[in-house]
Chains A and B, each alone.
Chain A
Amino acid sequence: MAEGLATTHDQAAHPALQHHFENMEQQREAGTLGMWVFLVTEIMFFGGMFLAYTLYRYKYPGAFAAASNHLDIRLGAVNTVVLIVSSFTMAMAVFSTQVGKRRNSIIFLIMTLVLGLTFLGIKAVEYSDKYRDNLIPGQLIPGHPFNPAVAQHGDADPHKLHLPEGVSVHNVEMFYWIYFAMTGMHALHMIIGAGILTVILILAWRGRFSPEYHSPVEISGLYWHFVDIVWIFLFPLLYLLGRHLEGHM
């Protein structure tokens, strides 16, 4: 079955070529495909939570709308914009590396990183608001159970939950549980992404990337954009779902 010889490594192998690949093209292809396959696993991972969200939203529409309306839509929207800008700068960073503009690529990477951290900062503000309003579900934080103040009729205090008559706080808790599970997982991915970006940034600083070899930048970009996409879905599903009912409640 095996006959003859095949050439091994190209004559002047690139220093970044790993020993088990034939050439840079193969190495790059493997890396990109690997990241895409990994993103598939991520889609399925988040998919499980989206499924739970769908079912319970259908089951407790009133509680979900009321709980969602209590989220801070301004912070959510700002964060959406922050992430979109960061996706843009990430794309620009990839472009700059592709055309060999090292300085630009470093600037764009730094911007992406800063925007990512901004997102996390805003998220932290939101979480602490929830903490203040006793909206952390269950005993997620020991000694600080889910126990929000419910607004009485005519009470406009924004820190209180505004529940339509008959909606059980119990089911509001379910919403918050899903909210924290999904945004928490998303934030975790952001943190990992920020870590990856830092590494890439250091490598770029040291001048490791070139128009011939930049697949690490590209692959990290794929990951970053994916995390952005998750948020593109989370934002309307979590923050916007009950807004149109606000007047009626």
Chain B
Amino acid sequence: MEEFTIQPPRTNYLNAEYGVKSWLLTKDHKRIALLYLGGVSFFFLIGSLYAMAIRLELLTPQGDLTQSSTYNKIFTQHGIIMVFFFLIPAIPATLGNFLVPMMIGAKDLAFPRINLLSWYIYMAGGIITIYALLAGGVDTGWTFYTPYSTTFSNSYVLTTGVGIFITGFSSILTGLNFIVTIHTMRAPGMTWYRLPLFIWAHYATSLIMILGTPVVAITILLLAFERLAHIGIFDPAAGGDPVLFQHLFWFYSHPAVYIMVLPAMGVVSELIANFSRKNIFGYKFVAFSSLAIAVFGFLVWGHHLFVASQSVYAGMIFSFLSFAVAIPSAIKVFNWTATLYKGSISYDTPMLYGLGFIGLFTIGGMTGLFLASLATDVHLSDTYFIVAHFHYIMVGGTLLAYLGGLHYWWPKISGRMYPEGWGRFSALVVFIGFNLTFSPQFVLGYMGMPRRYHTYPVDMVSWQVLHVLSTAGASILGVGLLIPLIYLAWSLRYGRIAESNPWHLPGLEWQTPSPPPTENFLETPIVTSEPYEFAPPETKEVVGKFERQTPAEAQW
């Protein structure tokens, strides 16, 4: 593979056309990925500003920075922006959009126009939501529980709901595009078991997107009408049942947490295998565990309703199933770990993020078990324990994987290398800052500090200490996240020019120039080997036998 380096052609997808119009009307999945990257980063910045405001307010037990009503809007908007406009599209719509066609050897997604449409829909939803936030904000919590959201809140629930409803369709369209593309557009020889795990993960994610998102769409629509027309399916005053709203909401929103984590798992599978130059341990198990998560993920939504007056027996079913869904995640964690065994592990920035993901996801996931267990959830539900649980997975897990993936494919996307030293340094800062921010919150939650609290009692001495630690951590985390923002932007101009395959990897996306041409490949590739094949399969070792490998064997 080293022998023939591909000469970068003069034109690539970035310089094939110029002008704003060439971007706004593009049908190239790579350019659309960049459009999404812009949108997603923008929303992340906004969401982060809200996060900083939350952390500052909670420094003291009294509410001395903001009014209660303002604080409520801040955490609501933080949650809404981060979930619907940052984390759900983050990996699939940027990295996924860029890489799904490249990794399977296709020229584009199956429906390029729909792909562009999905970006416009996303931005339209985003702008409507931003408008709602500027006009007066929304204060229902990101979960929109009725009847507060329908009858009692005086904020811009309707507008925000419309924004989220619209954005939901962009998610549906992306999922639809991925599914059809993966089914029908694989390059010759690209069998299902030769698909990189990133693709399996995105396939599973897309399943959730198309099966779950419509349900939240109709739920939000009903909610909007209820607010508009004052009669409703969820309104107890009209004989409706507010718990039905929760069922319908979580039917989507629990699977949605797997929309947020599955693509990250796909990224991490790539990072772990490629940066230890090994085929992934138990490929089929990792691949099918993604599907298992997608399917089982739909069976557990009731674990958000354990104390919501759901029947005790339904609670038991949902608790049982929640424990079952932990197993596919466990399989992944163990297989990643086993992949490292006898690998050739590099300490490049993406790998640091990948390793960080495994650790933090494990903590986040294991603390999910406290919540899936009925007895402990009764105590921990709606406390900071939950806040810590999901930030460990969503920030410690997905955000880290996203950053890792961004660094990993940065040379392919931009044609430039990022500064490695800064990369490693900021990865470390993020890791430390993150843990300092969110580990105190586990304790806070166990102590009984409820979430969505603007003020907390002064006589609980340790609470303030823990909050101060958390805020300190958030500042460190903020610095850690600001550094990549700066140097990635810097590298666009000043970074070292990237080769076509800077990491020397076998994946299809590396067998084409960086940045790739508009058609992705100079000619349609024919696939003849397994993914992650660094060495010929004849040399394969069966675990358990411990012969040393000779230096000769270890040569490239």
Contact = CB atoms under 8 A, between A and B. Distances in A.
Within the complex, are A and B direct neighbours (CB within 8 Å)? yes
B396 interface: no
Interface stretch (B102-110, B273-281, B313-321): B102-110
B218 interface: yes
A8 interface: yes
Contact of B524 (A6, A51, A174): A6
Contacts of A51: 248
Most buried by A among B106, B112, B213, B232: B232
Contacts of A232: none
Interface stretch (B131-139, B364-372, B466-474, B525-533): B525-533
Interface residues of B, number: 56
Given A1-B506, A29-B184, A55-B241, A40 B211 contact: yes
Interface string A1-36: 111111010000000001111100010011001100
Given A5-B523, A140-B225, A181-B225, A174 B238 contact: yes
Given A6-B188, A173-B238, A33 B233 contact: no
A170 B215 contact: no
A2 B105 contact: yes
B327 interface: no
Contacts of A174: 231, 233, 238-240
Contact of A138 (B106, B222, B231, B248): B231
A149 to B, nearest CB: 18
Given A20-B107, A37-B176, A173-B231, A30 B185 contact: yes
A40 B212 CA distance: 10
A59 B184 CA distance: 46
Interface stretch (A41-49, A92-100, A120-128, A235-243): A41-49
Q: Which of under 10, 10 to 19, 20 to 34, or 35 or more describes the interface residues of A? A: 35 or more
Contacts of A1: 1, 506-508, 511, 525, 527-529, 533
Residue among B188, B239, B508, B524 having the largest count of chain A Cβ atoms under 10 Å: B239
A178 B215 contact: no
A71 B498 CA distance: 69
Nearest to A44: B214
A140 B230 CA distance: 8
Interface in B304-359: none
A33 B180 contact: yes
Interface in A161-193: 168, 170-171, 173-174, 177-178, 181, 185
Given A41-B172, A42-B214, A20 B232 contact: no
Given A48-B248, A49-B218, A20 B112 contact: yes
A175 to B, nearest CB: 10
A205 interface: no
Interface in B105-137: 105-112
Given A1-B507, A2-B508, A174-B239, A8 B211 contact: no
Interface in B379-405: none
Given A3-B528, A5-B524, A30-B180, A45 B240 contact: no
Contacts of B524: 5-6, 8, 22
B167 interface: no
Contacts of B214: 41-42, 44-45, 47-48
Contact of B230 (A33, A139, A178, A181): A139
A189 to B, nearest CB: 13
B185 A26 contact: yes
A178 B107 CA distance: 46
B51 interface: no
Interface string B1-33: 100000000000000000000000000000000
B210 interface: yes
A38 interface: yes
A226 interface: no
B530 to A, nearest CB: 9
A48 B215 contact: yes
A52 interface: yes
Nearest to B173: A38
A137 interface: yes
Q: Looking at A6, A8, A46, which has the most chain B CB atoms within 10 Å of its CB?
A: A6
A171 B239 contact: yes
Contacts of B106: 20
A45 B217 contact: yes
B219 interface: yes
B46 interface: no
A45 to B, nearest CB: 4
Interface in B237-288: 238-241, 244, 248
A60 B239 contact: yes
Contacts of A177: 231-233, 238
Given A6-B188, A41-B172, A41-B176, A139 B527 contact: no
Nearest to A172: B239
Contacts of B211: 40-41, 44
A38 B118 CA distance: 14
Contact of B110 (A34, A59, A137, A185): A34
A145 B225 CA distance: 14
A2 B527 contact: yes
A137 B231 contact: yes
Interface of B: 1, 105-112, 172, 176, 179-181, 183-185, 187-188, 210-215, 217-219, 222, 225, 228-233, 238-241, 244, 248, 506-508, 511, 519, 521, 523-529, 533
25 contacts: A5-B524, A5-B526, A6-B524, A6-B526, A30-B110, A30-B111, A33-B179, A33-B180, A33-B183, A37-B210, A41-B211, A41-B213, A44-B214, A45-B217, A48-B215, A49-B222, A52-B244, A59-B239, A138-B230, A138-B232, A139-B231, A140-B225, A140-B231, A168-B239, A177-B231
Interface of A: 1-6, 8, 18-22, 26, 29-30, 33-34, 37-38, 40-42, 44-49, 51-52, 55-56, 59-60, 137-140, 146, 168, 170-171, 173-174, 177-178, 181, 185
Given A21-B185, A49-B218, A177-B232, 4 more contacts: A19-B519, A20-B107, A42-B214, A173-B238
- What are the 8 A-B residue pairs with the smallest beta carbon separation, nearest first? A138-B231, A2-B525, A45-B214, A138-B229, A20-B108, A48-B218, A20-B107, A44-B214
